[in-house]
Structure 1
Amino acid sequence: MLRPKHKPQRTCIVCREVKDKRDLIRVVRTPAGQLMIDPTGKANGRGAYLCRQTSCWEKNLPQQRLAQALKVTLTAEELAELQTQLQTELSKA
């Protein structure tokens, strides 16, 4: 009997739900210190996963969970840039 293929699981840093890796959005801090959304899930650097729901992104702002997970201090400009990248990523899906 064949086993079902393994699907990588990741946890959203805000709501703490465990989901398939492909169902979450990965934010990565590159070795150069740049923050970006990683659509491939394979970019080099420290990554954190958030749900595709905008509620998780809005809850992150006051709690600063993303900054803690990436071990970086986020400025308002960096958060705004991530929000615009998120909007383009969500419009693709």
Structure 2
Amino acid sequence: MKPRKIPMRKCVVSNEMKPKKEMIRIVRSKEGEISIDPTGKLAGRGAYLSMEPDVVQRSWDNKILDRVLESKLTDEFYQELLDYVTHQKARRELFGHDK
């Protein structure tokens, strides 16, 4: 049987190529609304970040997502994103990479 191709994406902060499942997608809709996309399927302009709290913190400090998504993000959104990534990383360490 032929091995399945693993979709790869590039982190906008670290410029590392990683499997899509190890990344978090942030999407800007046509209306300009920014949201976290855990499914990776929402319509709109997307940017991928590594699922690491330090990467999210660097993005917040340097306002990288603001530039990539061409909009002004609030500190509340960055805090929500940091909390989400921290939670997901803890889940993966507890339950393994299948969840």
TM bracket (short chain): 0.7 to 0.9
Q: Contact 1:36 / 1:85 at 8 angstroms: preserved in 2?
A: no
CA RMSD of aligned residues (A): 1.9
| Local SS of the residue matching 1:41 | coil
Corresponding residue for 1:45?
Answer: 44
Q: Which runs of 5+ in 2 are unaligned?
A: 93-99
- TM-score (norm. length: structure 2): 0.77
Give the structure 1 partner of residue 23 of structure 2.
Answer: 24
5+ residue gaps, structure 1, are none
Find runs of 4+ consecutive structure 1 residues off by over 4 angstroms. Answer: 87-93
Q: Please give the alpha-carbon distance, in whole angstroms, between the structure 2 residues aligned to 1:33 and 1:82.
A: 17
Taking structure 1 as the reference length, the TM-score comes to: 0.81
Q: How many residues align?
A: 92
- Structure 1 residue 23 displacement after superposition: 0.9
Q: CA deviation at 1:71?
A: 1.2
* Contact 2:52–2:89 (CA under 8 A) maintained in structure 1: no
User: Sequence identity of aligned pairs in percent?
Assistant: 35
SS at match of 1:43: coil
